[in-house]
Structure 1
Amino acid sequence: MFFRWLKNTMPRGIYARAALILILPVIFLQLLVSVVFIQRHFDGVTRLMTSAVNIELRFLIDTANDARDLQEARDAISRIDAPLEILTDLPANDVSPVDIKPFVDLTGNGVISNMRSGIANILAISLEDRRRVVVWVDTRHGPFKMDFSRRRVSASNPHQLLVIMVVLGALMTAVAYVFLRNQLRPIKRLATAAADYGKGRITQFTPTGAVEVRAAGMAFLDMRNRLERQAQSRTLMLSGVSHDLRTPLTRLRLGLSMMEDADVAPMIRDVDDMQRLLDGFLDFARSDASDGLETIVPADLVTAVLEDARRTGQDVTCGGVEGSHDPIRMRPLALRRALDNLINNALRYGTKAEIGLSVTDRAVRFWVEDDGPGIPPEQREDAISPFVRLDPARNQDKGSGVGLGLSIVADVARTHGGVLRLGQSAKLGGLMAELVIGR
């Protein structure tokens, strides 16, 4: 239970944790030094200084007690109190009923206990004035008051050592934090480069810092380069296959179209289906190796998609544009292809579609809704997988597909550090596809 509470209360950021690692040892060391060293040191110094003063005070007390009367005691004390730098008063009329000590006094208890153990018949001791010590002693001639400097019984300004420790501790902590920040900066740069790569951005990154951090940075660069090579290889392979097959398919269709046999029409449809399959493969290959980043306004992209849909006679309306119209770095061609796929998918299984946009500080959300049959919740994850068709659960009257439409949209979302979510349209009753990308 304690470790769970400790884990929940610990700071999450690496800078905060590093500061905690720096501050806790400094505070613990200062407390240890204050308790073990400072207190013992001042107790020892106070005991030695108080013992020396006790000798002088006992001499004054014995002088007063040895006198036959009060006047003789005063005369005897007056001859020695000035050389001893002690103010005296016999008899004293302002005797304190109790010992007086300030609430915060590092050596006050030691002064009082050492004086009481070394001098008999003490009535009270006052440390109210931090610069003076007042002692009242019972003598044969009445209360005897002795007033002397506090510096004679304890080290002066003991708090200065604590202040120096705190200031030096803070200074050393700041210096250590600067050095530690320089060690943590490469880790943050590595995290930024990894996050940017997750959003489809290739950030210039050079491994720096400690040996372990450099090793992690080099491993990240090797992984990124390997993934880029694999993506390029897949793109080149699918593009080459699609390109190489396109020419013989074109010749085959041309040859079939010149034939007048009644059985040729189904064969031409088969060739057209093969052509659509190749186009789908090529689009899928281009989805993650798409265009470069550009600064665009997301609302302009939605407007362009709506205009193209209306020119082609598609029943597509705008479901609303929310949020700011600030430019954002995106891949416009990839996003345009993704939105076109969502609209085509919506109109393939429904009669009308609606597109909308919502922009926040953390994400940009495009959504497309339709009035089709939708996708059951248990099949939505499969619908995003490539080459998976859910036609038995949906309308097949609009032609067959390749099973790559939603997969292409999901790839585009991943290249932007986002995700494709499928749900139920509350407004139109069909499928609601949300393309969410991080900013």
Structure 2
Amino acid sequence: MIYALRHPFKSLKKFLPKTMFGRSLFILIAPLVLVQTISAYIFFDRHWEYTTKVLARDIAGDVSLLADLYEKNPKSFEFIKGIAGSQLGFSMKLLPQKKLQKATDPRWIDSFLDFELQEKLRRPYQFEISNTDIIIETEVNKRVLEFTTPRKRLLPKTTPLFVMWAAGTSIFFLFVAAIFMRNQVKPLRRLAIAADRFGKGRDFPDFKPEGATEVRKVAQAFLSMKDRLKRQIGQRTEMLAGVSHDLRTPLTRMKLQLAMMDQNGDVKGLITDVSDMERMVEGYLAFARGESHEESRHIDINQLLQEVIDTRIKNGKMIHFTPDKSLPVVLLRPHMTARALGNLMNNGLRYGNQLWVSLEKFKGTVVISIEDDGPGIAEEKWEDVFKPFFRLDSSRNTSTGGVGLGLSIARDIIRNQGGDIDLSKSEQGGLKAKVTLPL
């Protein structure tokens, strides 16, 4: 409550529509409701008041006329009664034994009818308004005359027409506006879906610019950006393929020359350095090839994980995995995803004796957890290990740690499909890698 008083506009945002379609309709509805409210106020406060006053004046004038006629000629009661029924719409009765003792209902005191009866009738009276009739009693020649007329005579006939017209036109134009706004928002929704699919590395062949001019320009800019990114990635891959060819040739010549030399200590050291260089070049090229053109397709994530696990059960190390058959198929790049998961499992098996692999569905994503019982990684290094060519010096063995590209390649592959990889401490004592993939 205190926050709402201090920040009224921020608190109001919680109740406003979140989508563009909803906000556009709100922009249309708000002024329409305001205009209708002002119109209704003017109508009911001015027109309705004036009309009701005129109708009340007519009723009071007719009652006063009939009472005056009876007062001047009491013997003509039946004639006056006939005129009241046929010409003025009143049912008229003579109550000679009745006295005006009952007070008027407090609800109708100071009403328009009460005011007009005081002005026109100028004799004792009382009246009652029921659901269907208006009953007016007045004293004439020490007798009581009762006048009954339908209540609808006091209600303006334009009121229902006004309400029906205002409500009907508002609903109709809101319906038309909703259809047009939906058609205007639809291209934006398609653009958002295309951008989301592009971010997840999926294709969207049916997308094309459509809608308003501004939306078409945004869509065209998005398609141009997509083409530029693909062209840049292709150029990088081609450049690295050329670098691979250029580097492998001299490295091969160096290996041949070293093999023909006497195998003393210096030569053996050079052979080791050349092998390290060759391994680093291959690792760098593997990292660059992470931007694969493999098409996404629907796969059984349980089967994919089982295939990755089957190729890594060796050297007496255990991998614990229980498939979750309730999970649906997932749209992924199977070979690239298997490579990323394989890199994570290789790290766990290299530094631990057992792996625990689990699956779960969480808020529109599939979460794959890979845990080991190894020495783990210090928390401040969890992000650093994803940097290309970064190797740990203390918590991981540098002689078997490769060139520091395994986790970089894995995260690159997963992120290109709209997912991510996060590290945390495992309950098994080692490291836990959590892979999140969109469904």
Q: Is this a same-fold pair by TM over 0.5? A: yes
Query: Whole-Å Cα distance in 1 between the matches of residues 99 and 223 of structure 2?
Result: 84
Identify if the C-alpha distance between structure 1 residues 47 and 378 changes in structure 2 by more than 3 Å, giving closer, same or farther.
Answer: same
Identify if the C-alpha distance between structure 1 residues 122 and 179 changes in structure 2 by more than 3 Å, giving closer, same or farther.
Answer: farther
Alignment of 1:189 onto 2:195: no
Correspondences of 1:11-410 after superposition (within 5 Å)? 11-67=17-73, 71-72=74-75, 74=77, 77-78=80-81, 80-82=83-85, 83-91=87-95, 93=98, 97-99=103-105, 109-121=111-123, 123-130=125-132, 132-156=133-157, 158-204=159-205, 205-263=207-265, 264-310=267-313, 313=315, 315-322=317-324, 324-360=326-362, 362-398=364-400, 400-410=401-411
SS at structure 2 position matched to 1:90: strand
Query: Whole-Å Cα distance in 2 between the matches of residues 223 and 113 of structure 1?
Result: 77
Query: Whole-Å Cα distance in 1 between the matches of residues 119 and 386 of structure 2?
Result: 89
Aligned length: 427
Q: 1:435 is matched with which residue?
A: 435
Asked if the contact 1:26–1:173 (Cα under 8 Å) also holds between the matched residues in 2, the reply is: no
Asked if the contact 1:347–1:353 (Cα under 8 Å) also holds between the matched residues in 2, the reply is: yes
* Alpha-carbon RMSD: 2.7
Deviation at 1:307, TM superposition (A): 1.2
Query: Whole-Å Cα distance in 2 between the matches of residues 304 and 73 of structure 1?
Result: 112
The share of aligned pairs that are identical, in percent, is 33
Asked if the contact 1:253–1:268 (Cα under 8 Å) also holds between the matched residues in 2, the reply is: yes
Deviation at 1:365, TM superposition (A): 1.9
Gaps of 5+ in 2: 1-6
Q: 1:283 corresponds to which letter in structure 2?
A: A
Deviation at 1:361, TM superposition (A): 5.9
SS at structure 2 position matched to 1:388: coil
Q: Which moved more, 1:271-280 or 1:14-23?
A: 14-23
Identify if the C-alpha distance between structure 1 residues 157 and 99 changes in structure 2 by more than 3 Å, giving closer, same or farther.
Answer: farther
Identify if the C-alpha distance between structure 1 residues 317 and 242 changes in structure 2 by more than 3 Å, giving closer, same or farther.
Answer: same
Cα deviation digits, residues 183-236 of structure 1 (max 9, x gap): 011111111111111111132321211122122212222222222222222222
Deviation at 1:135, TM superposition (A): 1.4
Deviation at 1:152, TM superposition (A): 4.1
Asked if the contact 1:100–1:127 (Cα under 8 Å) also holds between the matched residues in 2, the reply is: no
Query: Whole-Å Cα distance in 1 between the matches of residues 387 and 123 of structure 2?
Result: 97
Deviation at 1:98, TM superposition (A): 2.8
Q: 1:175 corresponds to which letter in structure 2?
A: V
Identify if the C-alpha distance between structure 1 residues 94 and 424 changes in structure 2 by more than 3 Å, giving closer, same or farther.
Answer: farther
SS at structure 1 position matched to 2:394: helix
Q: Which moved more, 1:251-260 or 1:269-278?
A: 251-260
Q: Which moved more, 1:280-289 or 1:156-165?
A: 156-165
Query: Whole-Å Cα distance in 1 between the matches of residues 363 and 54 of structure 2?
Result: 69
Deviation at 1:43, TM superposition (A): 2.4
Asked if the contact 1:65–1:141 (Cα under 8 Å) also holds between the matched residues in 2, the reply is: no
Deviation at 1:157, TM superposition (A): 7.0
Query: Whole-Å Cα distance in 1 between the matches of residues 320 and 293 of structure 2?
Result: 26
Gaps of 5+ in 1: 103-107
Query: Whole-Å Cα distance in 1 between the matches of residues 40 and 118 of structure 2?
Result: 26
Asked if the contact 1:198–1:417 (Cα under 8 Å) also holds between the matched residues in 2, the reply is: yes
Asked if the contact 2:99–2:144 (Cα under 8 Å) also holds between the matched residues in 1, the reply is: no
Query: Whole-Å Cα distance in 1 between the matches of residues 268 and 30 of structure 2?
Result: 82
Q: 2:422 is matched with which residue?
A: 421
Query: Whole-Å Cα distance in 2 between the matches of residues 53 and 327 of structure 1?
Result: 79
Query: Whole-Å Cα distance in 2 between the matches of residues 162 and 101 of structure 1?
Result: 25
